[in-house]
Chains A and B, each alone.
Chain A
């Protein structure tokens, strides 16, 4: 064994090396700081080349370090990634993004009013779910995280059903078992949301492998935040996807923040998230996540590639989480309040609105009327859902349902426990013999 180290010595004997230093990332702006994003590298819209969908994965490397953008400062579409969508599709996407925002705003207030325990908004990220979903086929399987309410809304899920779930009321299809916003709809090919981060990534890969093994045409698309790419499941999903050339799309929503940790804690200081794809032999694209046309175009490219047995694609959607992580979070405790307004890629809803106006297909008056109409639609759905109850006001599923679906059939030990729960209920509420 070597001699004990002198911890006070500036240098170790025989070496002029500096002491080792641990690097702990620090975000650029903390509460109270003045924000300046002017040095952020923002590519010019339309400048990015569009390789063929059959290109080798390695050919996409330049796009992993660039930013695919279609909508320019002039509100017009530019370059080879312009998906050339018709005005009706553009208006549909605008309407759905605006509906997501109206829904988020009302649900946030519902949580503050005590109608439910919890909510998570996706403000500023609406394009990454709504426009990506438009680029998929209706039966392609979506494996979402908790901030993809836009996928459900783009597939036409009834707002009342979403609110029933948020209120955990007697009409909640998930029977009040799940935390609010952990939606599930097999009919709309929207997989059950889990609280455990990144678990959906290998699952999406497995679904895609299954579809391929059956010679089907369905592909899988999954969404995850940039923070969750640090999970081991990200690595296993990428490995399986590349090994089996699985028809799967990985959407990484880089909104800069994982609760209070900035993206540096997921490795963003050294490499883009898109660039990780290349090491696995997977195609990678990095897009302006606030540019609805770029998001659509990248997702469609990846979907076409997957469907043609070209294999998986990772898309990094570069965006900004404009609001708190959840209703339990106060972002003013860890980041500058100026960030949201200074974010150089703007707001996705506003950008698509201005594009449609520039095309002569929309107007501020129409937008105003639509926003009012959407707000009324959300409020109507809320009233409808409230008839079925709000959280903690008695209108829930019968006690016995708590024990159902643990297994396909109720084993004896759960029957015994169900009987106990119902007995306890009768002691607590002797005047109410229901259930």
Chain B
């Protein structure tokens, strides 16, 4: 039994082996493949992830390669999936449970909030829950109410949980490997709108694939991206934009189209947050826009806004702006009226820059 796979790792950082074009699904599959290979204690479980390879193909081929006791299907029971993963962690395994859609994580909430998140604390570190809960999240796919939600703020509010959201294939693999090796429970939300290609928010134009993007050049070998570190997507001095997941790409396309010299930070990890990167950027630009798909009230944007206000108050030249989903359940037919797209983001940028 191993509780510290990091100790087995000769070095963290970029891999030197073959680099291949991968979409985000293939990059996640590659991360899982690497970790199953490296660490006998890594075990994958979830609905339809075994023989079938997952409804989004993220676990395709892994059961065949590693066997049914390493990669297996579960009953349709989210509280069961998370609950048994806590017990597996207590034994010494490093489980990677999948919840098919983030919208269906709620039956597992008691096990996540009351158990996984608190186990290290309440046992004074005698028992830990080194699990990574993978789950597709976010909208923009006509998923309606129960295939589009972005519930990250429910988890960022829980002490003891880490929350990680990638926005590129390269990051998805490197971050997922870090999550699996981390000894704390991590919620790893995969923005399913950008599984196959970056989404720029212009839903009426043809969908792009990851082909031709540098971020889709992914090493086949093991590498890590540290948790708690943001990625600077573009450097700029007109304003700072804080985003994660799908919205990173939407924001980038809007600022490019408007010719705004924005500094875009892809937060990557919401807890623990890269506060230094945020402070440095806002102190430089004096303006801050926060963008997320999740509903507005008590969303993670509120936390970001409060922190920027507390820490960068004397550098701010305009009130902090938030562009988010509306405070409604995620609608089906009115998806593009709900989605925080180019118009809403463009307005907020204009407002920020006019003050």
Residues of A within 8 A of B (CB): 141, 143, 173-175, 177-178, 182, 184-186, 191-192, 194-196, 199, 201-211, 213-214, 220, 232-233, 235-237, 239-240, 243, 405-408, 411-413
Contact = CB atoms under 8 A, between A and B. Distances in A.
Contacts of B115: 194, 196, 199, 203
Contact of A405 (B77, B88, B125): B125
B85 A206 contact: yes
Contact of A203 (B90, B107, B128, B273): B90
Interface stretch (B116-124, B170-178, B316-324): B116-124
24 contacts: A177-B121, A177-B122, A178-B122, A182-B122, A191-B90, A192-B127, A199-B83, A202-B79, A202-B83, A203-B84, A206-B87, A207-B87, A207-B91, A208-B87, A209-B88, A213-B43, A214-B1, A214-B91, A236-B83, A239-B80, A405-B125, A406-B159, A411-B272, A412-B272
A191 B115 CA distance: 12
Interface string B89-118: 111110100000000000100110011001
Contacts of A205: 80, 83-84, 87
A196 B118 CA distance: 11
Contacts of B249: none
Contact of A210 (B80, B91, B118, B160): B91
Interface of B: 1, 43, 69-70, 74-75, 77, 79-80, 82-93, 95, 107, 110-111, 114-115, 118-128, 159-160, 162, 182-184, 228, 271-273, 275
Contacts of A232: 79, 107
B228 A199 contact: no
Contact of A185 (B89, B110, B126): B126
A2 B212 CA distance: 63
A210 B129 CA distance: 13
Given A201-B83, A203-B83, A406-B160, A186 B88 contact: no
A408 B87 contact: no
A196 B86 CA distance: 14
B127 A186 contact: yes
B122 A213 contact: no
A233 B160 contact: no
Nearest to B1: A214
Interface centre among B92, B121, B184 (most CB of A within 10 A): B121
A253 to B, nearest CB: 20
A192 B91 contact: no
Given A178-B122, A214-B93, A236-B83, 18 more contacts: A177-B122, A184-B122, A184-B123, A191-B127, A192-B119, A196-B110, A199-B115, A202-B86, A202-B111, A203-B84, A210-B87, A213-B43, A233-B83, A243-B75, A405-B124, A406-B159, A407-B120, A407-B160
B272 A413 contact: yes
Interface centre among B70, B84, B87 (most CB of A within 10 A): B87
Contacts of A175: 124
A391 B91 CA distance: 33
A207 B80 contact: no
Interface centre among A204, A205, A408 (most CB of B within 10 A): A408
Interface centre among B77, B79, B82, B83 (most CB of A within 10 A): B83
The 9 closest A-B pairs by CB, nearest first: A206-B87, A202-B83, A206-B84, A236-B80, A411-B272, A210-B91, A203-B87, A192-B123, A207-B87
Contacts of B127: 184, 186, 191-192
B185 to A, nearest CB: 9
A53 B160 CA distance: 42
B319 to A, nearest CB: 24
Contacts of B79: 202, 232-233, 236
B111 A199 contact: yes
Nearest to B121: A405
Given A192-B122, A196-B114, A405-B121, A413 B273 contact: yes
A206 B74 contact: no
A412 B278 CA distance: 14
A141 B122 CA distance: 18
B12 to A, nearest CB: 15
B183 A204 contact: no
Nearest to B185: A407
A411 B228 contact: yes
Contacts of B228: 411
A236 B126 CA distance: 26
A240 B75 contact: yes
Contact of B120 (A191, A202, A233, A408): A408
A242 to B, nearest CB: 9
B100 to A, nearest CB: 16
Nearest to B227: A411
Contacts of B111: 199, 202, 233
A209 B87 contact: yes
B80 A141 contact: no
A174 B159 contact: no
